[in-house]
Every structure is written in structure tokens, then in C-alpha cells.
Amino acid sequence: MLQQLESLYKEACSAIETASDSDALQAWESKFIGRKGEITSLLRSVGQLPKEERANFGKRANEIKDELTALYTEREELVRQRELAHSLEEGEIDVTLPGRPIPVGGIHPANQTLREIYDIWADMGFQVFRTREVEDDETNFEMLNIPEHHPARDMWDTFHTTTPGVILRTHTSPGQIHAMRHFAPGPIRVILPGMCYRYEQISSRKEIQFNQVEGLAVGTNIRLSDLKGTIAAFARRMLGENQKVRFRGSYFPFTEPSMEVDVECILCGGKGCSVCKYTGWLEIAGCGMVHPTVLRNGGYDPAIHSGFAFGMGPERITMLKHDIKDIRYFWGNDLRFLEQF
Ligand code: FA5
């Protein structure tokens, strides 16, 4: 058995030299000095030897086990160092590699149009005045001369909240009341941009959420001709120097008189095409002179003050400019659409 022990010892000493990674070292440990290892089992069978040989064998076997354990610890450290060096080498930063491109976002097409609109109105002295998207029924309708049960409410299908009287604004016109109450009795020149919400049947021209840009001018001696001239100047800046504009009589409870603004179709030049439904004209806004009741609700005396207001849809204007056939693309978040702008 002593001979067997010595030859195992030799075998273990040479085998450990070839254990070059932690898996191989683990296998070596189980084979020789682990709980079920060959040296360990020899040590356990010491009882089978004649009594006089036992002490000698036990001493030598323990010596060998201690030596092999020391060898193992030494080798383990070496392997660990090697593996660490290797992994550091693998993860090394190669400063000569080209950098990874950082994806750069773009400005949403609706926001691009909004910014253009702000610029044009700013040049005409109109400042941006922001008001809330969650409105009360009173400001969204009643203050604008649309009492409860008035048939005109059918023009604005409404999202109601669980709080009675609190709704999502259906248009930016309630901003007129906020702006007037803020500035009264002083003069006003503001635009009120922002999201509006309507309980619509979604179609290629109608979304349940969309931007509007409201405009409001209040002062003394503001006349219908001021409204027409200002809107026509806006259309020329927005759509081209030779852009023709037409005003068509219409109805809104908060303006009197009320009109729709049409521009000559920018796609067919007024000849008639599918976009303008072969009329040669495209509607871009509603407008009118601020109704005396609304002026009064805003804190102005209609005997002294007058004003004009308009409301336009930037998504519809963007659709016209870029020949976009469906409004649903705007909020569909499809990069193939958005990346074109
Ligand atoms: C109004 O909302 C009035 N408040 C506009 C106004 C303001 C008139 C001030 C007079 C004085 P109208 O419902 O037509 O009007 O909407 C105005 C514009 O918003 C439309 O021309 C259109 O461009 C846009 N719009 C309306 N509904 C939708 C919708 N469902 N989806 C996308 N755009 C819409």
C-alpha cells in the first residue's frame, strides 16, 4: 500500500502541472485529495494494514496529503491570476475602434409646423399663451356662448372625466377666456397652441387628439378687415408668397360674424384634385370677430373693445404641405413615417 501511495503521489505531482484552468484543477482535486479522492481513500483504509506498519504509513500518507494540498493552493492561485489576466486582455478597450453612432431624434412633423406657426405670428406681435388641456365645461362651452343643451355642442363631441363638469378641452378657444381674464382691460395679441381632444370617429382626416393654434387679438378699433389682412399675411408666409386666400361665411357661437378660411389648393394650384375634392380650395381655419358676450365674459366692454379670433389645425396644414393622406400617421409612432421629416 505504501508503494501504491508513492506512485499515486508521483502521478498527482505530474498531473497538477497540466491543470491549466480551474475546471482541470477541480478535477485534479476530486481525483486525488477530495473527499472521495484516491489518497483520501488510501488514508481511510489504513486499518487494513498490519499494526506495525500503520504508524509509518499514516505518517507518510498525511505528509503526502499536506504536500499535495499545498501544491493545490499554489496552483489555484496561479490559475486564478492567469484567468484574470486573460479576461482583462479580452475586455481591453481598443481606442482605435470607430465609435458607435448615437441615434439622434428628430423634431416631430407636427412640432415643426407648430414652430413655423409660432415664428410667423411672433413676427406679427403675437406671443404664445399656454392654457390647460383639462378644462371645465363652463370655460370650454358656457363662457363661449354655448349653453348646456345648445345644439352647437354637437360640433364638439366631448371626453368627460369622472369629476362632473371637468372635461378634456375640445378646442383651444377656452384659452380666449383665460387670456382675456389675464390681460383685461389691456390689449391682447396672443396665440394659444396645444392639444385638443374629441370623441371622434377616427378617420383619415379626424383624430381623437390633435393640435390647434388659436389666435386672439383684442383692443380698440379692431375690425374684420384686420382679421382678413392678418390671416392672409399668415397664409402667404406659411404657404407661399402668391398664396390665394378665401373667406367663407360660417357659424361659431363665440364669434360674430364667423368665417372659414380657405386657401387655394397648394397641390393642384386651384385646378381641382382629389385632395381638395375638385373644388380648388382647402380649409385651414375657422375665425371671426369675438362675440360681445365672450368679450364681456373675459372682462371687456364690447362698447369699447373689439377683437378677432381664429383657430387652425397644424396637422391638417402639415398634411397639405407634404401631401400626407392620413392624419393617423401623426400619432402612430411609426419611425418610417417620422424619419421622413
Ligand atoms: C373650432 O374648434 C373653433 N374653436 C375654431 C375657432 C376659433 C373659430 C376661434 C372661430 C374663432 P373646428 O371644429 O372647425 O373649430 O376646428 C378647427 C380646426 O381644428 C379644424 O380646421 C381642423 O384643422 C382642426 N380639427 C378639428 N377637429 C379635428 C380632428 N378631429 N382631427 C384633427 N384636426 C381637427
pLDDT averaged over every residue in the chain: 92
| Residue 33 predicted with pLDDT over 80 | yes
- Sequence length of the chain is 341
Look at residue 199 in the predicted model and tell me its pLDDT.
94
The pair phi, psi for residue 305, each rounded to 5°, is -105, 150
| Residue 142 predicted with pLDDT over 90 | yes
Q: Which residues line ligand 1 (CB under 6 A)?
A: 155, 171, 173, 198, 200, 206-207, 210, 212, 214, 252, 255, 283, 285-288, 309-313, 315-316, 327
Asked if 188 and 179 touch (Cβ cutoff 8 Å), the reply is yes
Q: What is the C-alpha separation between 220 and 233, in angstroms, rounded? A: 21
**CA 265 – ligand 1 centroid, Å:** 19
Q: What is the torsion angle, in degrees rounded to the nearest 10, for the CA atoms of residue 3, residue 6, residue 11 and residue 14?
A: -150
Among 178, 173, 193, CA closest to 308? 173
Higher-pLDDT residue of 189 and 152 is 189
Side-chain-side CA neighbours of residue 255 (13 Å): 28
Share of the chain above pLDDT 70, in %: 100
Among 74, 68, 80, CA closest to 28? 68
Among 140, 143, 188, CA closest to 165? 140
| Residue 275 predicted with pLDDT over 80 | no
**CA 206 – ligand 1 centroid, Å:** 10
Mean pLDDT value of segment 195-222: 95
| Residue 155 predicted with pLDDT over 90 | no
Ligand 1 pocket test target in 146, 197, 252, 328 with most atoms within 8 Å of CB = 252
Mean pLDDT value of segment 194-204: 93
Higher-pLDDT residue of 213 and 48 is 213
Atom 15 (ligand 1): residue with closest C-alpha?
286
**CA 38 – ligand 1 centroid, Å:** 90
pLDDT digits (tens, 9 = 90+) for 85-139: 887 877 777 788 888 899 888 999 999 999 999 999 999 999 999 999 999 999 9
Q: Which atom of ligand 1 lies nearest, measured to the CA of 208?
A: 30
Kindly indicate the confidence band of residue 149, based on its pLDDT and cuts at 50, 70 and 90. confident
| Residue 58 predicted with pLDDT over 90 | no
Inter-axis angle of helices 224-239 and 109-123, nearest 10: 130
Among 188, 180, 174, 310, CA closest to 255? 310
